[in-house]
Amino acid sequence: MTSDSKPDNNGQFLPMSKKETEGLGWERPDFVLVTGDAYVDHHSFGAAVIGRVLEADGFKVAVLSQPDWRKPESFTEFGRPRLGFLVTSGNLDSMVCHYTAARKPRSDDAYTPGGIAGKRPDRAVVVYANAIRQAYKKMPIVLGGVEASLRRLCHYDYWSDTLKRSIILDAKADLLVYGMGEVAIRDIARRMDQGEHPRDMKDIRGTVYSAPAGELPPQALVLPSHEELKTRPEAFAQSHMLQFKNSDPYTAQPLAEVYGTRAVVQNPPAYPLDGADLDRVYELPFMRAPHPSYTEPVPALEEIRFSLVSSRGCFGACSFCALTFHQGRIVTARTPQSLEKEARAMTDDHGFKGYIHDVGGPTANFRIPACEKMAKKGACTDRNCMFPSPCPNLKADHRDYVHLLRRLRSIDGVKKVFIRSGIRFDYLMEDPDDTFFRELCEFHISGQLKVAPEHVSSRVLEKMGKPPVKVYEAFARKFEHINAELGKKQFLVPYLISSHPGSDLDAAIDMALYLKKAGIRPQQVQDFYPTPGTLSTCMYYTGLDPRTMKPVHVPKGGREKRMQRALLQYGRPENYAIVRDALVKAGRTGLIGSGSGCLIPSYPGRSAGGPNHQMSGSGGTGRKKTKKSTPRGGSGNRGL
């Protein structure tokens, strides 16, 4: 390194003010890491991970958390950094953080002290980068995090209902890191330290850069141009599938997207970290707490403070999830030894009450690759592991997870180990050994288990990339049977999505009838949210299924979306009028009345026939309302 002195910061937070850097004896930091989140020094917060990774390599990193973007001087807190600025919106896309699926402002922000909303701007990555450009004209800027990662190429923006170009262009940045950025950021920092500018780094995996349209790599696969994408929805659908087929590090080609005289080039993804490398990242000296300058708690930390991130990646490939384009499909896991070490350290925390809240990742029961081929050569480009049916090569094996959970349960001071991140019930049903299923019910849930059938209509589930409802029903029966054998009364809490592409009013009505028959009254329903980078969002924008290029019904009008949502909570008095309108519009007036098969009565205040209870066997939702939480998404840290 060429900096004046190496950081000496073990046992401390990364500095958040000029006073703190001076206290450390720094003349100036090497990097200023700008984040839209509060600075929480915990490995579930991507900014903290990147800061600690760079610190471990000898770089001095200062954190500029939630700066006032309306004042360029806010970005000069530390002066001009020696090497550059690193910019992230935080753990969530800023637009998802600010707005509901109905585009209504959220009243809080879980990643801000006190849960206060409004501490970061809309489109935070672009706003922060442009503010830095005002303060320091020629300062190198590197983008990262979920917002940058999933907007790295032309993308549909739900909030403006337009196609937007790559975020690296609007941010006027020099380089963009996508995915889990530890490997890429180390390479970038090392080369910057040797005098290379990030705009000239065109060979780093997991990065995106801008170049003249006439200077594309000869091996690049050229996607439809920005102009073509704006005028031909089918071109956007085709581009999405080309990106999907090039999302695996073992087989991907570089991708290029032309914008007039400029182009954006995406290098192949970085290879995933193996278990030993993951251990090294998660064992960095995190303080596991918010910066002491905060006087209010950060709600997002309370959700995961006593949880363990055990794995990365997901081969489930649900259509509405962007993990394929961010963490990737190859599952890698931390070693049991590392997780046990972290759990033992938890027991020394004064706030630990004996309960580990979660041991998981994007999908809790994925801790090994889907098959031997995936472990050595990556994911298939022409099929999914779980959909439309499990691949014959799929290896459904929970032995490693069972071994891990048993080790954690045996730790002195640990009373209970919960599993609260998602369980893929179809993967669980593929395992011929019931050991994990039994131990899940016996030791790792407390009355309720959240699972995600998402819908019951076969045509909607097909668009979602989810298994047929009969698989969920078999799982529910087995869940009930095992709990009966154990003498436990426990329930499934199903996640449901309304208004997903492929769902029309008839599909929503079929879902309502299914819920009525099962006696399920969901407390919460998630309206489909078209976020950048997902197959479902591509369907929403184009009206096409990019896998087949066939038309798909897309609920877009506010009225239809409200109808579909209300149908899944048909029993609520406030939904009576809109549910009745939906049944009339769909020509299903036979479901209005007092018969046993009816959804609503002929007049408000009366009862329709049939089950009308809160819980029924394993299908109920429990008796207390689900705690309000951050928007749904993959768990674990999200990179820079």
Q: What is the pLDDT of residues 489-502, one digit of tens each?
A: 999 999 999 999 99
> In the prediction, which pLDDT does 626 show?
37
pLDDT at 612: 39
Read off the pLDDT band of 607 (50, 70, 90).
Answer: low
Above 80 in pLDDT, residue 636?
Answer: no
Give 523's pLDDT tier (boundaries 50, 70, 90).
confident
Separation CA 484–CA 409 (nearest Å): 23
pLDDT of residue 557: 83
Q: Which pLDDT score, from 0 to 100, does residue 604 have?
A: 85
Domains of the chain: 1-201+272-298 (3.40.50.2300), 209-269 (no CATH), 306-436 (3.30.750.210), 447-521+542-628 (no CATH)
Of 261 and 11, more confident:
261
Measure the CA–CA gap between 340 and 346, rounded to whole angstroms: 10
- On the question of pLDDT at 94 being above 50, the answer is yes
pLDDT average, residue stretch 2-7: 44
Task: Band the pLDDT of 606: cuts 50, 70, 90.
Answer: low
144 and 518 Cβ atoms separated by less than 8 Å: no
Count Cβ atoms below 10 Å from residue 606 Cβ, excluding itself. Answer: 10
The pLDDT, as a whole number, for residue 382 is 87
Q: Among 39, 38, 41, which Cα is nearest to 52's?
A: 41
Q: What is the 3-state secondary structure (H, E, C) of 35-80?
A: ECCCCEECCCCHHHHHHHHHHHCCCCEEEEECCCCCCHHHHHCCCC
Mean pLDDT of 606-611: 58
Question: Can you give the pLDDT at residue 609?
Answer: 59
Is the previous residue joined to 388 through a cis bond, with omega within 30 degrees of 0?
yes
Q: Which pTM value belongs to this model?
A: 0.92
Average pLDDT of the residues of the chain: 92
255-259/221-222 β-pairing: parallel
Q: How far is C-alpha 410 from the chain's CA centre?
A: 31
Q: How far, CA to CA in Å, does 255 sit from each of 231, 337, 620, 640?
A: 20, 39, 47, 22
**7 secondary structure, DSSP code:** -
Over residues 449-505, the pLDDT tens digits come to 999 999 999 999 999 999 999 999 999 999 999 999 999 999 999 999 999 999 999
- Of 3-17, 207-221, 329-343, least confident by mean pLDDT is 3-17
Query: Please, which residues bridge with residue 87 across strands?
Result: 34, 143
Q: Where is pLDDT greater, at 450 or 404?
A: 404
Q: Is 11 left (phi over 0), alpha (psi -120 to 50) or beta?
A: left
Residue 613, pLDDT > 70, answer: no
Whether residue 158 has pLDDT greater than 70: yes
Report, as an integer, the average pLDDT of 33-59. 98
Counting every residue written for the chain, the total comes to: 640
Closest listed residue to residue 52, CA positions, set 276, 286, 288: 286
Instruction: For residues 201-211, give the mean pLDDT.
Output: 98
Q: pLDDT at residue 638 above 50?
A: no
pLDDT at 2: 41
| pLDDT digit string, tens, across residues 312-346 | 999 998 999 999 999 999 999 999 999 999 999 99
- pLDDT band of 615, cuts 50, 70, 90: very low
Q: What tokens appear for 1 in the block?
A: 């390194």
Please report where in the chains the tokens 């707490």 appear, as a residue: 289
What average pLDDT score do residues 66-80 get? 95
Question: What amino acid is encoded at 419 in this protein?
Answer: I
Q: Is the pLDDT at 364 greater than 70, yes or no?
A: yes
* DSSP code string of 222-245: EPPPHHHHHH-HHHHHHHHHHHHH
Q: What is the pLDDT of residues 298-315, one digit of tens each?
A: 999 988 999 999 999 999
* 3-state helix, strand and coil shares in percent for the chain, rounded to the nearest 5: 35, 15, 50
533's CB contacts (< 8 A; 6+ apart) are 149, 150, 151, 155, 322, 325, 326
Percent of the residues in the chain that have a pLDDT greater than 70, as a whole number: 93
Cα–Cα distance for residue pair 555/564, rounded to 1 Å: 9
From 351-355, 523-527, 548-552, the region with the lowest mean pLDDT: 523-527
Per the DSSP assignment, residues forming a β-bridge with 40 are 290
